[in-house]
Amino acid sequence: MFHGPLEIMNETEVGHGWQFVAQFIEAAGALRKLTFGLNWADYDLLCPDGGTEPSLVAETVLRWLIANAKPEQLTNRLDASLARRIHPEADAQIRRLFIQRDQS
């Protein structure tokens, strides 16, 4: 799992959810900036109790994507649904990351 620096720099509420600007250090050491979308449906699926800040949900999904997506799948504009398109168990894996984070 990716544990490197990841920064959510900006959060904007949009008509269908939230949009984030994030940056992280790629494996080769380059700084990478991207835009990430989290719509309400994905938020509700990943956080059914609604008790987690949207920025934390976005960060957790981004960490999962950075660790599990192929480099060509990590475009400059991503959204949370990409995780389940990459791996059918992604939603369950991401929900477990919330549980692990809460227990630490």
Domain boundaries, the chain: 6-103
Which residues are bridge partners to 34 per DSSP?
A: 22
Does 56 have pLDDT greater than 90?
Answer: yes
Which residues are bridge partners to 17 per DSSP?
A: 14, 39
pTM of the model: 0.90
Does 18 have pLDDT greater than 50?
Answer: yes
The per-residue pLDDT for 29 is: 84
Task: Tell me what the mean pLDDT of segment 4-10 comes to.
Answer: 88
| Residue with more model confidence, 48 or 36 | 36
Work out the pLDDT band at 12, boundaries 50, 70, 90.
very high
